[in-house]
């Protein structure tokens, strides 16, 4: 599933899930989850907490880049 910024037309985020057709997309009232129904069932995506984001960014800074 792709999320787009309607103001700029830019692709903001790609969410992985199974199925070929997603419908009935809903955001939770707090904006931290997206729920959708696809041809293979229900999908729930949760936004990471600020702590999870900070930990991932810190890990990126300390992990050496791999060479091809």
Q: How confident is the model at residue 65 (pLDDT cuts 50, 70, 90)?
A: low
Question: What confidence score (pLDDT) does residue 20 get?
Answer: 73
CB 36 within 8 A of CB 17: yes
Closest CA to 17 of 55, 35, 49, 43: 43
**Measured in whole angstroms, how far is the alpha carbon of residue 14 from the centre of its chain?**
6
Question: What confidence score (pLDDT) does residue 63 get?
Answer: 73
pLDDT digits (tens, 9 = 90+) for 7-40: 999 988 888 877 777 778 888 998 889 898 888 8
Rg (CA), the chain: 15
Spatial separation of the C-alpha atoms in residues 28 and 63, rounded to whole Å: 34
Name residues whose C-beta falls within 8 Å of residue 65's C-beta, 6 or more positions apart in sequence.
Answer: none
């Amino acid at each position: 599933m792709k999320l787009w910024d309607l103001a700029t037309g830019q692709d903001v985020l790609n969410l992985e899930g199974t199925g070929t057709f997603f419908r009935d997309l809903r955001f939770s009232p707090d904006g931290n989850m997206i729920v959708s129904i696809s041809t293979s069932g229900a999908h729930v995506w949760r936004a990471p907490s600020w702590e999870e984001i900070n930990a991932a960014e810190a890990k990126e800074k300390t992990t050496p880049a791999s060479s091809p």
